[in-house]
Structure 1
Amino acid sequence: MSIPKFTMSKQVRYCTLITLNYHPLCLLLNQNTKFSDIMKLIKIGWRRNLKSLRLFKPDGTEVEEGDLINIKRGTTLYAELSNEDIKPNIIQQQYDIIKKIGEGGQGIVLLGKHKNTKELVALKVITLKTWQGQETKGISQEQQILNVLDHKNIVKLHQSYVTQNQREIIMVMEYLNGGSLLNQANSKLSEGDAKSYSKQIVDAIAYCHENNIVHCDLKLENIMLTAPNSKEIKIIDFGVSSYAGQQILTDSVVGTLSYLAPEVLSSQQYKCIQPSQDVWAVGCIIYGLVFGRLPFDGSNPSETYRNIIQCNYGIPKKNVSIELKNLLSQIFVNHPKERLNIFDIQNHSWFKEQPKLFKLPFRNGRSSSVSKLNSYRQYQDEDQIIVVSQRKIVCSRRSITRCDKVLFFNKMK
């Protein structure tokens, strides 16, 4: 996409101007640039006549007109336009909108900054018109569930609003900027680090199940690090979550295929929401963190479907603990009643096992331990090759949000 340019005299620095619903503009700043010049650029590039303009840096700091001279080359600036159509009144009154940080089937997620406290928040805007045929009660269930949950590893809901015209629900949530665990699973993550992340996930889901709540869409993308250098995680996106035992009224598959339990794919068994489906997804997440790929992913959705139904998975690493293999074998069980529950997983020996150190006996001269070390390194190299070769499979898996189950089964067969 070409970026329109607005020519100013004494060109000095190239910057990028971004706002919601419009393509980026190339902004040329010099020592004489004023807000009025930028508004002229917006009139040409975005065809918007503005009475006022506010600019923000990526970290949420507001840029005053006098600060333009200090903006460095290559900086991205976010423009808040007056009367922006996408912003409900409540957001205009309390928050400065910096940028869009996410988008899904329910709506969009915006990065906002409170005008008084300067706190950065995530604003999830659910547009009711995108949920045709559903009750408002069902749409607002996420906020009801988050109001109940209070756990250090679950995203916090600060406030929620329904706009005056009843067309949108807005949830003000804590802002997590460390990225998803999918990025960690695609790297060379040690079993110890995978265990540290997994324990937080298991503790959070155990808390949910204690409160009779099933997430229903657990996956690496829905687990966020709180900050770039942090090891603390929080589970997000309770948009399709429900209460255990709640009857399934429609023939629909909700979730992501690679993480779906066999009973969810079976029209005969999946009559109500079951905690066992979260347990299966937790097993997929643990597997993904340790091995860098998902356990049942095939070359196409049909193969993935068959692998799930048949519990067909492998152990691509040689140097993993027996306890981990044992845990996975008790999670990936076809019948949900024979599967471990989340509390069994909490107490499993894998989480109590201490990391084993690789020791070499040192001797004078050449030793057979050298060959052992070389063999150990070779296993590590092979594992790394396997992880790298599977990255495309992890990133290319398909997601099923809400689709007709009958048609889906016909395609799989």
Structure 2
Amino acid sequence: MSIPKFTLSKQVRFCTLISLNCNPLCLLLNQNTKFSDIMKLIKISWRRNLKFLRLFKPDGTEVEEKDLINIKRGTTLYVELTNEDLKPNIIQQQYDIIKKIGEGGQGIVLLGKHKFTKESVALKIISLKTWLGQEIDGISQEQLILNALDHKNIVKLHQSYLTQNQREITMVLEYLNGGSLLNQANSKLSEADAKLYSKQIVDAIAYCHQNSIVHCDLKLENIMLTSPNSKEIKIIDFGVSSYVGQQKLPDSVVGTLSYLAPEVLSPSYKCIQPSQDVWAVGCIIYGLVFGKLPFDGANPSETYRNIIQCNYGIPKKSVSKDLIHLLSQIFVNPPKERANIFDIQNHSWFKEQPILFKLSFRNGRSSSVTKLNSYRQQQDEDQIILVSQRKNMYHRRSVTRQDKVLFFNKIK
């Protein structure tokens, strides 16, 4: 029996196939190579009868047949072999599960290590049991959005698929082990460092809005450091993200109360708009600089009123004038008068080094783009309350598309 001819084309690329308990195999690829050709070669060289074949790059990305034409010379491909007719479970067959690293309304997140490449990944598993009555296309919108995004400050999606029985969606994501920005939001963080993190967030969201995508649940917990010793961040959890102008589900509020814009809490809010991300970005910047969130009250009702009235304070002794002006451009109701993400991106706070000055007031209130007066004296200017140290964790929870209640009526 002769080896299948892979060298008929002038554009031949030499690759290496590696599989468990098998010697490395030289593969010659051209533009006509199919999976069936590779399976024939494996049958001859490794003496294995196959019914199914999967190929992976060294970074854990799965290679589909249509991608073979783009494989570069010298690439190492890892092979998963099976005699089963059905596609094997990726969790059991391809990854060693280390531990659970997260859980939310959509499913769980596991830390996995690729058996061949030893690459660490985050495995997000969404069970369709929690999404009864919804279309699969709607449930899988997160993977569609992540596939459309390619930015250094947005988490990478390596691959995703629907299991054979259509009961789970598994997404293989870039693993980020530096912790969330929630851990950085305290009184010890300098304004310069807060600006460094904020600039990356703003750039990433500007990229999203340029591609007509709204995150819808921006918060400190959804922004991760890439590693413990790095100041590079990536935005995660696009599970409730939508496209600009997409209809909001009736009688539902998506997001986390402390970061929600006033219009999102209104029953007249019908379509997803970028303005809600801008408001959340302002809350994140405020949280990084001051160590607390701008509108948090003693209970959800007070938080709701503070948001509607744009009621926030400046609790530090000294901050830059540019920062105060930036916040006054963001915390504005109605949203049409609010700065957009590109205005924020070009704001002077990101252009200049912070110049600190002492404020002559203790606490403040703002209800428009220009008003920074009527300052209240409810707490000492030196008091910095750490974000999420309160025990009222109920208004920290993200509200998903499953909540079919008028949330704004509950908290009024």
TM-score normalized by structure 1? 0.70
Aligned to 1:229: 229
Give the 3-state SS of the residue equivalent to 2:383 in structure 1.
Answer: helix
Q: What is the rounded CA distance, in whole Å, between the counterparts of 2:248 and 2:202 in structure 1?
A: 25
Answer whether contact 1:293 1:393 (CA < 8 A) is retained: no
Cα deviation, residue 201, structure 1: 0.0
Tell me the residue number matched to 1:398. Answer: 396
The answer to which of 218-227 and 184-193 deviates more is: 184-193
Give, in angstroms, the shift of residue 356 of structure 1.
3.9
1:293–1:394 Cα contact (<8 Å) kept:
no
Contact 1:142 1:239 in 2 (8 A): yes
**Other-structure match for 2:384:** 387
The question of 1:280 aligning with 2:279 is answered yes
| Counterparts of 2:392 and 2:118, CA distance in 1 | 35
Q: Deviations over 1:231-282 (max 9, x none)?
A: 00000000000000111232101100000000000011x1100000000000
- Secondary structure of the residue that 1:320 maps to in structure 2? strand
Secondary structure at 1:111 match in 2: strand
Which residue of the partner structure matches residue 118 of structure 2?
A: 118
1:149 maps onto 2:144 in alignment: no
Number of the residue aligned with 1:296: 295
**What is the SS of the residue equivalent to 2:389?**
helix
Which amino acid is 2:141 matched to?
Q
Whether the 8 Å contact between 1:259 and 1:280 is mirrored in structure 2 is yes
**2:129 aligned with 1:129:** yes
Query: Is this contact kept in 2: 1:146–1:157, CA < 8 A?
Result: yes
CA drift of 1:354 comes to: 1.4
Q: Give the secondary-structure state (helix, strand or coil) at the position aligned to 2:189.
A: coil
1:348 corresponds to: 347
How far apart are residue 388 of structure 1 and its match?
4.5
Give the SS at the match of 1:133: coil
Measured against aligned partners, the alpha-carbon deviations of 1:204-255 in whole angstroms (never above 9, x if no partner) come to 0000000000000000000000000100000000000000011123210110
Matched to 1:175, the amino acid is Y
Give runs of aligned pairs for residues 143-292 of structure 1, distance below 5 A: 143-268=143-268, 270-292=269-291
Q: Distance in 1 between matches of 2:144 and 2:233?
A: 22
Do the aligned partners of residues 352 and 224 (structure 1) sit closer, same or farther apart at CA in structure 2, a change above 3 Å counting? same
Tell me, yes or no, if the aligned pair for 1:294 and 1:394 is still in contact at 8 Å: no
Q: Normalized per residue, which structure has more helix? A: 1
How many residues end up aligned between the 2 structures?
A: 300
Whether the 8 Å contact between 2:319 and 2:356 is mirrored in structure 1 is no
Question: What is aligned with 1:339?
Answer: 338
Distance of 1:391 and 1:247 partners within structure 2: 32
Contact 1:95 1:112 in 2 (8 A): yes
Q: Kindly, what percent of the aligned residue pairs are identical?
A: 81
Listed one character per residue, the Cα deviations across residues 42-96 of structure 1 (whole Å, up to 9, x for unaligned) are: xxxxxxxxxxxxxxxxxxxxxxxxxxxxxxxxxxxxxxxxxxxxxx812211111
- 8 Å Cα contact 2:140/2:169 also seen in 1: yes
Cα distance, 1:400 vs structure 2: 4.1
Distance in 2 of aligned mates of 1:357 and 1:281:
24
Q: Give the Cα separation in 2 of the matches to 1:183 and 1:249.
A: 33
Residue 353 of structure 1 and its aligned partner are, at CA, apart by 1.4
Contact 1:301 1:398 in 2 (8 A): no
The equivalent residue for 1:15 is none
Q: Offset of 1:389 from its aligned partner?
A: 6.3
Query: Taking structure 1 as reference, are residues 390 and 272 closer, same or farther at Cα in structure 2, changes over 3 Å only?
Result: closer
TM-score between both structures, scaled by the size of structure 2: 0.70
* RMSD across aligned positions (CA): 1.8
CA distance 1:220–1:389, change in 2 (3 Å): closer
Kindly indicate whether the alpha-carbon contact (under 8 Å) linking 2:106 and 2:130 is maintained by their aligned counterparts in 1. Answer: yes
Structure 1 residue 409, shift from structure 2 partner: 2.9
Unaligned runs of 5+ in 1: 1-87, 359-381
Q: What does residue 329 of structure 2 align with?
A: 330
Task: Name stretches of at least 5 consecutive residues in structure 2 with no aligned partner.
Answer: 1-87, 358-379
